[in-house]
Amino acid sequence: MRKDEAISAQEAAAIMGVHFTRPARMASAGLIKTVDILVGISISGDRLSKVYSRLQAEENYQDYILSLKRRVRRRPREYLEERSEVFEYLAAEGRPKIALHDAIGTAEAGKILSVSTSWVSSLALENQIIGRVSWSGRAVNRTWIISKASCIENRLSIERKKLSGETLFGRPRKLS
């Protein structure tokens, strides 16, 4: 059995062939599993985003296809043209697959690593932690999906280096 991968709302919508606002409504109705990730912290409060279950998004689409074969009258899905594009994006070589239970946002990763949230993406691009940018069919800001396990591993390696007296590059982290 495949592990359940964390995907963004845009990716879930493209896999299911629905409008990009639909996954949030489906999650509210309990039709698709989600996990809240912390993507920002501000004076007005924490900013949360959701990541969705890829397996359940694919199952939802398969149920739709089965109902069409059984000639059950359903509203046709109008956003099927993005399916192949998102599958190609998710299957690209080197793109990490982050488990749904392991997914966190940049703000939570920043807290674990004791760095600014803006630095988290740089660490992911340098392969110091595992993370990926979500796919978007529109020209909008895309969410970083980060592996919590890789952040904890990175933090522990920094702590070990500090204890051994090894010289660390960059600004010192306040590991508490």
Residues 69 and 76: their CA atoms lie apart, in Å, by: 13
Looking at residue 171, its pLDDT comes to 67
Residues 44 and 11: their CA atoms lie apart, in Å, by: 28
Looking at residue 77, its pLDDT comes to 86
**pLDDT band of 43, cuts 50, 70, 90:** confident
Dihedral pair phi/psi, residue 65, rounded to 5°: -65, -45
pLDDT tens string 127-144: 999 999 999 877 676 789
**pLDDT band of 176, cuts 50, 70, 90:** low
pLDDT tens string 4-32: 999 999 999 999 999 999 999 999 999 99
Looking at residue 142, its pLDDT comes to 77
The mean pLDDT of 114-129, rounded to a whole number, is 92
Residues 119 and 132: their CA atoms lie apart, in Å, by: 14
Helix, strand, coil percent content, the chain, rounded in steps of 5 = 45, 20, 35
User: H-helix or E-strand containing 14?
Assistant: helix 9-16
**pLDDT above 90 (res 151):** yes
Q: Which of residues 174 and 24 earns the better pLDDT score?
A: 24
**pLDDT above 60 (res 152):** yes
Please give the C-alpha separations between residue 134 and each of 37, 57, 126, 152, in angstroms, as whole numbers.
13, 15, 17, 22
Q: Which of 121, 140, 125, 130 is nearest to 39 (CA)?
A: 121
**Tokens matching residue 24:** 């949030």
pLDDT tens string 44-99: 778 888 999 999 999 999 999 998 888 877 778 888 889 999 999 999 988 999 99
Residues 150 and 109: their CA atoms lie apart, in Å, by: 9
Looking at residue 156, its pLDDT comes to 94
Q: In what order do the strands lie in the sheet with 45-53?
A: 6-7, 45-53, 34-42
The C-alpha R_g of the chain, in whole angstroms, comes to 19
**pLDDT band of 175, cuts 50, 70, 90:** low
